[in-house]
């Protein structure tokens, strides 16, 4: 299992390719700017239709995955700065929602095929929002998706 918490697109792509090459499950998790939300991705060889490139194309189709700040007018940013960026700010207790979700995904993956093991997930991508479009706090709102091959992807999966 490759568990990626780098929050950096280039590293995520590289690690997803290495995992694919070695037929190893790849799990990625990252928070959005200000820990207003986050995303978990699980690319499992043989059970996930799409690849990391497909994921990026689907996210671009959706325009954005995070609620805007009250004063933001440009919502074109899909990938915010990662945790390693000097400008990244956020708090631990909101980031923990994404971290724990990623751990659940990893345990579910590692327990595949084990009788009475941790339940299997039936999704590949989970997006959480912790704020509404005005920046107000909301209960954790998870949306899950099966990662389908993107129509524009020409890669072999």
Q: Please write the tens of the pLDDT for every residue from 40-93.
A: 999 987 778 889 889 888 888 874 443 444 444 444 444 455 565 556 678 889
Tokens of 22: 């070695």
| Least confident segment among 31-45, 58-72, 112-126 | 58-72
Entry pTM? 0.78
Residue 35 — pLDDT band, cuts 50, 70, 90? confident
Lowest mean pLDDT, pick from 30-39, 94-103, 118-127, 134-143 = 30-39
User: Is 70 exceeded by the pLDDT of residue 112?
Assistant: yes
User: Which structure tokens are listed for 51?
Assistant: 């690849």
Are 137 and 130 in contact, with CB atoms under 8 Å apart?
Answer: yes
3-state SS track over 91-108: CHHHHHHHHHHHHHHHHH
Q: What per-residue string of b and e applies to 12-50 under the rule 16 or more CB within 10 Å gives b?
A: bbebbeebbeeeebbbbbbbbbbbbbbbbbbbbeeebeb
Tokens of 140: 């954790």
């Amino acid at each position: 299992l490759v568990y990626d918490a780098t929050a950096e697109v280039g590293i995520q792509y590289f690690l997803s390719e290495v995992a694919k090459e070695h037929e190893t499950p790849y799990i990625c998790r990252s928070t959005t700017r200000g820990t207003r939300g986050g995303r978990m991705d699980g690319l499992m060889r043989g059970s996930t239709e799409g690849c990391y490139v497909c994921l990026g194309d689907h996210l671009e189709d959706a325009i954005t995955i995070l609620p805007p700040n009250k004063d933001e007018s440009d919502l074109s940013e899909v990938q915010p700065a990662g945790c390693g960026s000097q400008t990244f700010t956020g708090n631990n207790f909101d980031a923990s929602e994404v971290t724990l979700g990623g751990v659940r995904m990893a345990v579910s993956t590692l327990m595949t095929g084990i009788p009475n093991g941790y339940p299997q997930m039936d999704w590949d991508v989970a997006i959480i929002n912790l704020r509404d479009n005005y920046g107000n706090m909301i209960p954790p709102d998870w949306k899950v998706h099966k990662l389908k091959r993107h129509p524009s992807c020409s890669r072999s999966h």
